[in-house]
Amino acid sequence: MKTLVEIKALRENGLIEEAYQECLALWQTMPEDRDVRTDFAKC
């Protein structure tokens, strides 16, 4: 699983679909009660 920084690098390199999948995987590991939506706006 990648970090937000690694996901951002994927996007910058044009790997949008891969970045999206990694972002989804990361999102699913987050506790539901945590407000991390601002971080995921970067995805």
Query: Are 14 and 6 a contacting pair, CB within 8 Å?
Result: no
Q: What is residue 38's predicted lDDT score, i.e. its pLDDT?
A: 61
E runs forming strands in 1-43: none
Instruction: Note down the domain range covering 12.
Output: 4-40
Say how many CA atoms lie within 13 Å of 33 toward its Cβ: 0
CA 29, distance to chain mean position in Å, is 11
Q: What is residue 27's predicted lDDT score, i.e. its pLDDT?
A: 80
- Give residue 4's identity as a one-letter amino acid code: L
Question: How does pLDDT run across 1-43, given as a tens digit for each residue?
Answer: 788 889 889 999 999 999 989 888 888 887 666 666 566 655 5
In degrees, to the nearest 5, what angle opens at C-alpha 36 toward C-alphas 31 and 24?
75
Q: What is the pTM of this model?
A: 0.59
Q: What is residue 1's predicted lDDT score, i.e. its pLDDT?
A: 76
Q: What is residue 2's predicted lDDT score, i.e. its pLDDT?
A: 84
The tally of domains found in the chain comes to 1
